[in-house]
Structure 1
Amino acid sequence: MIRRPIYNSSAVSRHPTSPISSFLRSLFSTYSSENNNEPIVSKRNPKSPFGSPTRVQKLIASQSDPLLAKEIFDHASQHPSFRHSQSSHLVLILKLGRSRHLNLIDDVLANHRSSGYPVTGELFTYLIKVYAEAKLPDKVFRTFYKMLEFNFTPQPKHLNRILEVLVSHRGFLHKAFELFKSARLHGVMPNTRTYNILMQAFCLNDDLSIAYKLFGKMLERDVVPDVESYRILIQGFCRKGQVNAAMELLEDMLNKGFVPDRLSYTTLLNSLCRKTQLREAYKVLCRMKLKGCNPDIVHYNTMILGFCRQGCAMDARKVLEDMSSNGCSPDSVSYRTLIVGLCGEGMFEEGKKYLQEMILNGFFPHFSVSNCLVKGFCSFGKVEEACDVVELVMKNGNALHSDTWEMIVPIICKEDDSEKLKMFIEDAMKVEIRGDTRLVDAGISLGSYLSSKLQMKRKNVRERRRL
C-alpha cells in the first residue's frame, strides 16, 4: 500500500512542481517500471507523461486509499493531452462510494461529461448501486433526473432498481409512485417487473386497492402480468381475509394458461383452512397436480392441520394416505399433527397405529405425542394400552416427558407406599435436557420396574379368568 502524503489539494493546480506533483510523477514512474518495464510515455499518446489511460486506470484500481486514487485521477486530468478511460470513472465512483466520500463523486461525473465519452447505462447502474449501499434513497431518487441531465434516457432496469430502493425505505413509497407515474413522460416504459415492485409495496403497506388498480393498468397498457403478479395479489387478498377474491384470481390465472407457483397455492390453502373452507381447500390440493404443480409436504401438512383443527381427523388421515400415492412421504410433523388430532377426537387406537408407523419410518415422536396417547388411554382406564405406548417409545430409544411418568406411575404403582413411589418419580426426572422439557433416559431402572409390574398384573388377570 502506498501512503498518501498530507498536503493542500489546491496546491496541485497552482504549482505544477509542488511536492505532491513530484510524488505522483514518481508514483507513475514506479508503477510503470513494476509493470513489464513499459516506457512512461505511451506510443499511442506521446504527449502524455502518464502513459496509456489503461495504465492509469489500473493504478487507480490498485489503490486501497480512495482519496489517493482520486488525487491520481485529478492529477492526470490536468494534463491537456490526457483523457481518462470510461473504466477509470466507474472504478473511482465505486471506490469513493463504498468509502462514503460521496461529495467527490460529482467531480468524477463532471469530468466524464466533459471528456466527450458517450454516456452509458453502466455508469448510472454503478451510481445507483453506490447510493443504495449508502442507504441514501433520496440520492437514488435524484439519480433518475441526473440521467436526464446527461441526455440519457433511463432504461426500465434503472427505473426498477430505483423503485426497489425507494419502496424498501419507510416514507418513500409515494415518492416512488410519483416517479412511476412520471416515467412515461420521460420516455421510460414500465414493464411487468415495475408493476410487481409497486404492487408488492402497496400490498405490504395495506393499500390493496391501489395494488389492484395497478394490476388493471397493466392490462390496459398491454403489459403482460406474470405468475409473480398474480401471487402478489393473491397474498394481498388472503392477508385481508378476502379468500373468494383470491380464488377468482387463481381461476383467472388458470384460464390464461399460467401455472401458479407453490407459494400461491400455500397461501390459498392456509387462508381457506383458516376460513374453515376445507372442502374448497381440498379441491385446490387435488387440482394442483392436474395443473402442473405437484403438491409438496407443506401443502399436505397444511391440509392435515386444517382438518384436525376442525375436528375432521379422519379426513386428515385420508390426506396422509394420499401423500404416498402422489410421491410425497409424510414427515414427523404430518404424523404428530394427525396423532394429536385423532386423540382430540378420542380415537386413541388409531393414534397408536400411526405412532407405530411413525417410529417404523424412522421418526422420533415428540414428547407431546406419547403424552397425548398415554393421557387419553389412562383417562378411559386403559392402563395396559398406555403402558404399551410407553414401552413402544422407550424400546426405540426415545424419551418420555416427566408429565407422562407422573400420569402412569401412580396408576401402576398404586399399591406401593408413597416413599417408594416418590423415589421412582425422582429417578424418572433425573435427566433435564432444556427448560421445561425434562426427559427420562430409557435405560433407567424405572422402565424395567414398570415392565415387571405390568407382567405381574397381566398374569393375575389371566389367573382370575382361568378360575
Structure 2
Amino acid sequence: MASSSSSSSSSSSSSIGSPTRIRKLIAAQRDPLLAMEIHSVASSLLSDHHLAALPSLILKLARHRRFSLSFSLLRRLPSPSPSLLSSLSSVFSSLARPDLLLLLLPILRPPLPPKHLHRLLRSLSSHPSSLPAALSLLRSSPPDSHSHSILIHAFSRCGRISLAYSLFNRVFTLGLTPDLQAYRSLMQALCRKSQVSTASDLLEDMLNKGFVPDALTYSSLLNSLCRKKRLREAYKLLCRMKVRGCNPDIVHYNTIILGFCREGRPFDACKVLDDMPENGCLPNLVSYTTLVNGLCAGGFVERAMEFLEVMVGKGLVPHFSVFHGLVKGFCNVGKVEEACRVLEEMLKLGVVPHVDTWVMVLVRVCCDDDGEMLKQTSSWFLKIVDEEEWRRRTKLVHLGTGLVHFN
C-alpha cells in the first residue's frame, strides 16, 4: 500500500515537472492570477515547492497591483529575505504607493545588509510622506555614511534644510565622513534657499576634506552668487575652479557673462568671453547672444555690432531678439541707416523679423522732418523685399503703398 502511494506521488511529480521547472513556468506567466493558480496546483503535489516559488510570485503580483494577494503570500513566509523586501520596496516606490512601503517596515528583521538597507531607504525617501519612517529606520540601523547621504539628499530636495544639516552633522558625531553626494545635495539646497555664504563655507570644507566638487556643484554656487550680485566672488570662484580640479565649462562661463550683463557691466562680460579660448572653452550662441543683448541694453550698440559680425563670421545664426536689440539700440541714438543695415543682414541670414522690429524702423523713417530719410529708405525697403516675400516674412502687407501714404 505504501509502495502504491509512493508510486502515485512519484507519478504526479514527474507529470508536472521538477520544482525548478515549476518556478520557471510561474515566472514566464504574464497573467499573475494564472501564475498563482499554477503555484497552488504545484504546492498540493510538491511539498518542497511551496516556499521556494513564493518570492517570485509575490513580486509578480505586486508588479501587477495585486497587493492584497501579494501581502497574503508574504505573510506565509516564516522569514522573508532582505532581498525580497528591498525588491518589494522598489516596486511600491515605482508605483507611488508609500502606504504599502510602510506596511513592509514591521516585517523587517534588522540589521539589514547595507545594500538592501540603502535600497529600502531610497524607496521610502522618494515620497515625502514616508520620510519620517525612513528617518526612523536609519536611526535603528548600524551607522553608515551612505545611508545618511540618501536621507540628506531627500530632505534637501524637499527644502527641509535644517533636518538635512542635522543628519550631515550626525555623520561627524558617529565618527564617519559625509560622501560627495551629501555635500552636493546640501550645497544645492542652500543655494536654492539663497544661503550663499553657508554654501561657500561648505564648499571650502568639502575641498579641505579632499573632495573634488563636480561641475553641477560649481554651477549652483556660481548662479547663486550672481543672483546675489556677488560678482567679484563669482568671478574669483570661476578662476579657481581649474586649480581645484574642475575645468570650467560653457555653462559656468555663460552664467558669469549673464551675471555681469544683468548688472549693467557688459565690458566685464566681454573680458570673460575673451578669456574663454585660452582656457579651452569656446563661446557659443548663448554666450554671444547674452553679451550682445547686454551691450545693447547699456547703449553700446557699436560694440554689440562688432560681436554680431563675429557671430555671423563663425557661422552662428543669431536669434531674432539679438537683431531686434541692435535695431532698437541704433534707432534710440538716431542711427536709422545702421538699423536698416542690421535689418538687411537679418533678412540675408533668413531670420524672420518681428513686426515690432519693422515698425520701430518705419516710425523713425516716417517721422523724419524733411522727408529725406523716407526717400532714401523707401527704395531700399522695396529693393530687399518684394511684395510676396514681405507677406510671407512679416504679415505686414503692401509696404510700398504704406510708405506712399506717409509721404
Q: TM-score range by the shorter chain?
A: 0.7 to 0.9
Give the Å deviation of 1:331.
1.5
Following the alignment from structure 1 to structure 2, what is the Cα–Cα distance between the partners of residues 299 and 250?
16
Question: 2:102, 2:130 within 8 Å by CA — same for their partners in 1?
Answer: no
Give the Å deviation of 1:426.
11
1:126 has 2:87 as partner = yes
Following the alignment from structure 2 to structure 1, what is the Cα–Cα distance between the partners of residues 191 and 251?
17
Mapping for residues 364-375 of structure 1, pairs under 5 Å: 364-375=317-328
The verdict on how the C-alpha distance between 1:83 and 1:407 changes in structure 2, with shifts beyond 3 A counting, is closer
User: Alignment RMSD, CA only?
Assistant: 3.1
Q: TM-score scaled to structure 1, two decimals?
A: 0.74
Query: Which amino acid in 2 is paired with 1:219?
Result: F
Which of 283, 290, 300 pairs up with 1:347?
A: 300
**How many aligned residue pairs are there?**
383
Structure 2 partner of 1:395: 348
Mapping for residues 279-358 of structure 1, pairs under 5 Å: 279-358=232-311
Q: Deviations over 1:66-121 (max 9, x none)?
A: 112112112221236443473x22321222112222222244335543xxxx8543
1:66 has 2:35 as partner = no
Following the alignment from structure 1 to structure 2, what is the Cα–Cα distance between the partners of residues 364 and 147?
61
The verdict on how the C-alpha distance between 1:236 and 1:110 changes in structure 2, with shifts beyond 3 A counting, is closer
Mapping for residues 6-155 of structure 1, pairs under 5 Å: 50-79=16-45, 81-84=47-50, 86=52, 88-113=53-78, 120-148=81-109, 153-155=111-113
Which of 102, 105, 114 pairs up with 1:156?
A: 114
Question: 1:131, 1:137 within 8 Å by CA — same for their partners in 2?
Answer: yes
Question: 1:57, 1:85 within 8 Å by CA — same for their partners in 2?
Answer: no
Question: 2:51, 2:77 within 8 Å by CA — same for their partners in 1?
Answer: no
The verdict on how the C-alpha distance between 1:55 and 1:388 changes in structure 2, with shifts beyond 3 A counting, is same
Structure 1: any 5+ residue segments left out of the alignment?
1-39, 433-437, 451-467
Following the alignment from structure 1 to structure 2, what is the Cα–Cα distance between the partners of residues 47 and 334?
74
Question: 1:41, 1:51 within 8 Å by CA — same for their partners in 2?
Answer: no
Mapping for residues 230-309 of structure 1, pairs under 5 Å: 230-309=183-262
What SS does the corresponding residue of 1:54 show, helix, strand or coil?
Answer: helix
Following the alignment from structure 1 to structure 2, what is the Cα–Cα distance between the partners of residues 120 and 171?
25
Question: 2:98, 2:129 within 8 Å by CA — same for their partners in 1?
Answer: no
Structure 1 partner of 2:131: 173
Question: 2:296, 2:326 within 8 Å by CA — same for their partners in 1?
Answer: yes
Structure 2 partner of 1:456: none
Choose between structure 1 and 2: higher helix proportion: 2
Give the Å deviation of 1:351.
0.1
Query: Which amino acid in 2 is paired with 1:217?
Result: R
Q: Deviations over 1:377-396 (max 9, x none)?
A: 12222233223322332333
The verdict on how the C-alpha distance between 1:52 and 1:278 changes in structure 2, with shifts beyond 3 A counting, is same
The verdict on how the C-alpha distance between 1:439 and 1:369 changes in structure 2, with shifts beyond 3 A counting, is farther
Following the alignment from structure 2 to structure 1, what is the Cα–Cα distance between the partners of residues 326 and 90?
58
Query: Which amino acid in 2 is paired with 1:302?
Result: T
Give the Å deviation of 1:174.
2.2
Following the alignment from structure 1 to structure 2, what is the Cα–Cα distance between the partners of residues 439 and 224?
64
Structure 2 partner of 1:26: none
Q: Deviations over 1:362-411 (max 9, x none)?
A: 22111221111122112222233223322332333333222222222344
Query: Which amino acid in 2 is paired with 1:273?
Result: C
The verdict on how the C-alpha distance between 1:80 and 1:166 changes in structure 2, with shifts beyond 3 A counting, is closer
Query: Which amino acid in 1 is paired with 2:271?
Result: K
Question: 1:97, 1:134 within 8 Å by CA — same for their partners in 2?
Answer: no
Q: TM-score scaled to structure 2, two decimals?
A: 0.84
Structure 1 partner of 2:170: 217
Structure 1 partner of 2:5: none
What SS does the corresponding residue of 1:95 show, helix, strand or coil?
Answer: helix
The verdict on how the C-alpha distance between 1:65 and 1:316 changes in structure 2, with shifts beyond 3 A counting, is same
The verdict on how the C-alpha distance between 1:446 and 1:325 changes in structure 2, with shifts beyond 3 A counting, is farther
Following the alignment from structure 2 to structure 1, what is the Cα–Cα distance between the partners of residues 328 and 75?
79
Give the Å deviation of 1:209.
1.8
Structure 2: any 5+ residue segments left out of the alignment?
1-7
The verdict on how the C-alpha distance between 1:397 and 1:77 changes in structure 2, with shifts beyond 3 A counting, is same
Give the Å deviation of 1:204.
3.5
Query: Which amino acid in 1 is paired with 2:63?
Result: R
Following the alignment from structure 1 to structure 2, what is the Cα–Cα distance between the partners of residues 380 and 133?
60
Give the Å deviation of 1:261.
0.9
Question: 1:307, 1:315 within 8 Å by CA — same for their partners in 2?
Answer: yes
Following the alignment from structure 1 to structure 2, what is the Cα–Cα distance between the partners of residues 398 and 80?
76
Mapping for residues 195-206 of structure 1, pairs under 5 Å: 195-206=148-159
Query: Which amino acid in 1 is paired with 2:83?
Result: E
Following the alignment from structure 1 to structure 2, what is the Cα–Cα distance between the partners of residues 80 and 368?
76
Give the Å deviation of 1:281.
0.1
The verdict on how the C-alpha distance between 1:337 and 1:218 changes in structure 2, with shifts beyond 3 A counting, is same
Following the alignment from structure 1 to structure 2, what is the Cα–Cα distance between the partners of residues 361 and 316?
19
Give the Å deviation of 1:251.
0.8
Question: 2:29, 2:35 within 8 Å by CA — same for their partners in 1?
Answer: yes
Structure 2 partner of 1:17: none
Question: 1:227, 1:261 within 8 Å by CA — same for their partners in 2?
Answer: no
Following the alignment from structure 1 to structure 2, what is the Cα–Cα distance between the partners of residues 221 and 319?
44
Question: 1:48, 1:81 within 8 Å by CA — same for their partners in 2?
Answer: no
Query: Which amino acid in 2 is paired with 1:245?
Result: T
What SS does the corresponding residue of 1:400 show, helix, strand or coil?
Answer: coil
